[in-house]
């Protein structure tokens, strides 16, 4: 075992690349690090080491017993976090990274105030300055919803596309040919989705409102579309529901298995470790993507071909080092929330 610099420092010094930090999901403890929010949510960080500055992402979670837990996700895999402490706005943890059979340790010490985080990551090779801000959490309603409802004697199928901008504001599109729609005032609060929809068909125009809830177990959206003509029951399912979320992948190599994190966003973009994925192809069972990243004069390329069945994601990953098998399981968030946590 080597008690030395962090995996972040190690990769910077050996490979000269950036990395992204992630602790799975979202959480809060009894500390007072913000206005009733604590550590809850995702944090966008700037990590400054010597003359380099890297982007990073940090998020916090807890297990089913309410204990803090964390993972450090880099370009090269998932590292473990130990002794996570958050009290009176002060945050500390130890990072344990394993690389090619060696172990590297570093410690973080910092503060959380309102929606800002700052601190120092310390290791044998020196310190990194870290600053960050809390990111808006992606609401459960974001994504593409396949809707079904009945207007008079006619069955209607439509798509409701909910998006979130960088400021956390929601926008929507309600697609149902030949009717033109204009969606406004999209909100998702305490598990309820509401919006206004202006319908145009030729010279005719009608204002409607929609209100619905998302079932935690089934993931179905059920609600009512209201207008001067009456109420219409609407039901919808989110495309890619079974795939959307974060996955822990165990990858088999000649040197032994290692873990990596795959994050699938509601729009089917994502992250493989810290590598951005522009588009993940998904047909209900088959999953695939290709991604690449430039490191100076070097280019790293990766492709994944997999299958989603029985809540498991299995397949093969191909890089310049060859093809490796993997098996993945989705990270399940604890259903309960610590006191004061904001709803999804």
Q: What is the pLDDT of residues 120-133, one digit of tens each?
A: 989 877 898 988 88
Q: Look at domain 143-238 and name its CATH class.
A: mainly beta
Task: Spell out a b/e string for 165-199, using b for 16 or more CB atoms within 10 Å of the CB, else e.
Answer: eeeeebebebebeebebebeebebeeeebebebeb
Average pLDDT, the chain: 82
What global pTM score does this model have? Answer: 0.80
pLDDT band at 281 (very low <50, low <70, confident <90, very high): very high
Q: What is the pLDDT of residues 78-97, one digit of tens each?
A: 878 888 899 999 999 898 87
Q: Over 60: is that where the pLDDT of 21 sits?
A: no
Q: How far apart are CA 312 and CA 207, in angstroms?
A: 44
Q: Over 60: is that where the pLDDT of 144 sits?
A: yes
Are 28 and 341 contacting, i.e. CB atoms less than 8 angstroms apart?
Answer: yes
Helix (H) or strand (E) segment spanning residue 11:
helix 7-15
Say what the pLDDT of residue 10 is. 40
Say what the pLDDT of residue 99 is. 66
Q: Over 90: is that where the pLDDT of 309 sits?
A: yes
Say what the pLDDT of residue 333 is. 67
**Between residues 17 and 253, which one has the greater pLDDT?**
253
pLDDT band at 164 (very low <50, low <70, confident <90, very high): very high
Q: Over 80: is that where the pLDDT of 257 sits?
A: yes
pLDDT band at 233 (very low <50, low <70, confident <90, very high): very high
Are 260 and 249 contacting, i.e. CB atoms less than 8 angstroms apart?
Answer: yes
Q: Over 50: is that where the pLDDT of 16 sits?
A: no
**Which residues, in sequence order, are CB contacts of 206 under 8 Å at separation 6+?**
198, 199, 227, 228, 229
DSSP state letters, 248-292: EEEE--TT--EEEEEEE-TTS-EEETTEEES--EESSSEEEEEEE
Take residue 144 and report the two structure tokens written for it. Answer: 């593409």
Say what the pLDDT of residue 27 is. 33
**Which residues, in sequence order, are CB contacts of 21 under 8 Å at separation 6+?**
8, 45, 47, 56, 57, 58, 72, 73, 74
Say what the pLDDT of residue 334 is. 59
Q: Over 90: is that where the pLDDT of 298 sits?
A: no
Say what the pLDDT of residue 100 is. 66
Specify burial of residue 83 (Cβ count, 10 A radius: 0-12, 13-18, 19+): exposed
Q: What ranges do the domains of the chain cover?
A: 1-135+245-344, 143-238
pLDDT band at 202 (very low <50, low <70, confident <90, very high): confident
**Between residues 331 and 17, which one has the greater pLDDT?**
331
Say what the pLDDT of residue 17 is. 34
The highest-confidence range among 152-156, 163-167, 216-220, 235-239, by mean pLDDT, is 235-239
Q: How far apart are CA 117 and CA 111, in angstroms?
A: 6
Q: What is the pLDDT of residues 23-42, one digit of tens each?
A: 333 333 333 333 345 777 67
With left for phi above 0 and alpha for psi between -120 and 50, is residue 231 left, alpha or beta? beta
Helix (H) or strand (E) segment spanning residue 145:
strand 143-151
């Amino acid at each position: 075992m080597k008690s030395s610099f962090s995996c972040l420092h190690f990769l910077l010094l050996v490979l000269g690349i950036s990395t992204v930090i992630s602790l799975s999901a979202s959480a809060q403890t009894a500390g007072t690090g913000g206005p009733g929010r604590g550590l809850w949510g995702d944090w966008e960080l700037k990590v400054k080491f010597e003359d380099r500055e890297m982007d990073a992402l940090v998020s916090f979670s807890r297990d089913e017993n309410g204990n803090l837990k964390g993972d450090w996700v880099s370009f090269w895999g998932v590292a473990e976090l130990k002794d996570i402490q958050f009290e009176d706005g002060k945050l500390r943890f130890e990072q344990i990274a394993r690389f090619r059979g060696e172990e590297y340790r570093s410690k973080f010490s910092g503060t959380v105030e309102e929606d800002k985080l700052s601190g120092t990551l310390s290791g044998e090779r020196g310190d990194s300055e870290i600053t960050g801000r809390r990111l808006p959490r992606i609401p459960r309603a974001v994504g593409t919803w396949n809707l079904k409802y009945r207007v008079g004697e006619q069955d209607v199928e439509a798509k409701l596309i909910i998006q979130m901008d960088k400021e956390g504001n929601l926008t929507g599109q309600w697609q149902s040919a030949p009717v033109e729609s204009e969606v406004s005032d999209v909100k998702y609060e305490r598990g309820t989705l509401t919006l206004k929809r202006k319908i145009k068909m030729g010279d005719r125009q009608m204002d409607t409102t929609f209100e619905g809830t998302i079932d935690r177990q089934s993931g179905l959206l059920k609600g009512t579309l209201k207008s001067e003509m009456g109420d219409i029951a609407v039901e919808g399912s989110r495309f890619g529901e079974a795939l959307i979320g974060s996955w822990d992948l165990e990858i088999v190599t000649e040197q032994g298995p290692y873990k990596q994190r795959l994050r699938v966003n509601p729009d089917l973009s994502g992250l493989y470790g810290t590598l951005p994925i522009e588009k993940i192809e998904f047909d209900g069972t088959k999953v695939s993507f290709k991604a690449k990243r430039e490191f100076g004069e070097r280019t790293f390329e990766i492709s994944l071909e997999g299958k989603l069945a029985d809540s498991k994601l299995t397949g093969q990953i191909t890089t310049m080092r060859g093809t490796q098998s993997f098996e993945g399981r989705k990270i399940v968030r604890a259903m309960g929330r610590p006191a004061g946590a904001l709803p999804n």
